[in-house]
Structure 1
Amino acid sequence: MGKSMKFTDLDQYLFGQGTNYEIYKKMGAHPTTYRRKKGVYFAVWAPNAQSVSVIGEFNGWDEEANPMKKVGPIGVYEVFVPGAKIGQLYKFFILGAHGEKLYKADPYANEAELRPGTASRITDITDYKWKDATWIKNREKFDEKVEPMAIYEVHPGSWMRHPGRDDDGFYSYRDLAKSLISYVKEMGYTHIELMGISEYPFDGSWGYQVTGYYAPTSRYGTPEDFAYLVNECHKNKIGVILDWVPAHFPKDAHGLVEFDGTATYEYADARKGEHPDWGTKIFDYSKNEVKNFLIGSALMWVENYHVDG
């Protein structure tokens, strides 16, 4: 593995070019074995941090227990934590450029704690057993200019509710696989367009102010439950399209805003970096690492969750 455990010189080079298209397999939290020990590999980009450590249920949220090592000049930090397990919550503790103490959710997390909690959750999204091979094969022949398309746009949190429940009565991804698919088929739609699936803190934003670009929102279940929904859609010959929001992000303290004590993901110039109507931050697309973060997210939904568009 060379000097670095996992984030290699080539990874750094491609990330710096904005073309590390499998970035989601390296950044974030990945259960693995290292030197014959089972645990979790963590990686995060914090170019102007003074130091970074990972804190979580595996170390009692101790800021000094698992310091991360900077691998090269681009500002990626990594660490392997033996004994950390799937299901445990974690955050990155960042000593910012000006000495700020920052407690950040993982930008590349594949699962998040249910709001109002703001931590990330260790998970493994690589082992889902897909059963949609026929759909995937037929998809290559699909010509949207010729073949009929009727898209049903749906916000999962308000389409239907279980009445009288304390938890907002949201339909889970698995509930939707039952009721939504049969409804859509009966009505003659070919595709479902899901609004607001990437993780977000505020219900009222309907998912248009995203903090977790690599995580299906935990409001409706686990990443595996979301994969199950897509799989069931495909088995029923229904395509799945996601609303994806690479324009701006909210200022929640655990999110991307001033991630390492400086404008990391957003424009430093407030005239470019603030969205006056929404009170949000705007991504700095001039940074290759930011472009890579967004492109990597889009590709992750397509490759890992078999999303159709």
Structure 2
Amino acid sequence: MKTENQKAWFFVLPVLLLVAFNALIPMMTVVNYSVQETFGDNVFFWQGLDWFQQILRSERFHAALGRQFLFTFLILIIEVPLGIAIALSMPRKGLWVPVCLVLMALPMLIPWNVVGAMWNIFTLPDIGLLGYFLNHVLGINYDMTQDPLAAWVTIITMDVWHWTSLVVLLSYAGLVSIPDAYYQAAKIDGASNWSVFRFIQLPKMKTVLTIAILLRFMDSFNIYTEPFVLTGGGPGNSTTMLSIDLVKIALGQFDLGPAAAMSLIYFAITLLVSWLFYTLMTKDDLN
């Protein structure tokens, strides 16, 4: 068995080397820019940790980071319970199973930039279906280009529509893997639906929910394309997430040093919070 495992590494090794190469080269470039200043012509000046100190003390960075955490928090508390609820309501057997699975998967197949463009048109006050309905039928003064609250609600709704399906499919996979014997035993004991969910379904879904939460955290915390296409970070800076601010600094202002330092801090925060999530979710398993 040990020899077979060693042979398997020869098949995996090329992929690992390719991934490592594609990850390490850009990372080394970012680290290089984060400790230097350049004024063009490939001339660099040593800055040390000055950019990191500047970013960490920047109110602009703190504001963008706060918006990013708020967005991610709202996404998780909406999508995870909603995804579990939808998965519980889906059929486990019959012809409707593949239909439901396909319908759930459809939003995730649409590219990020297309989703942003779709919702941008969909929410236009005059010609957009949702915008026209809210403004002219319900009489709500809805304009996400002028109202920060409307912009936030629109971005969150768009993300919920786009990515709740991921939580649904993972939760559904966890549910269908539970043996019928558990449900039969619960029925004999007279357990309520809540008890079945609390003591059977939820513990058995713990692994897939850990994956779902980690994936949704990392994706929502690094979201860029959809809100950029939808609002461009506006109105004002109300929807300027950390990712959007990073691109503005790097490509808009062409401040490569601060942008590189910010990206490394961004990366470190993502890794740290992901590790904390994973540790908390698997604490009982490790014990």
TM-score norm. by structure 2 comes to: 0.26
The structure with more strand, counted as a fraction of residues:
1
The structure with more helix, counted as a fraction of residues:
2
TM-score norm. by structure 1 comes to: 0.25
Task: Flag the structure with larger Rg.
Answer: 2
Q: Could you say which structure has the greater relative contact order, defined with CA pairs below 8 angstroms and 6 or more residues apart?
A: 2
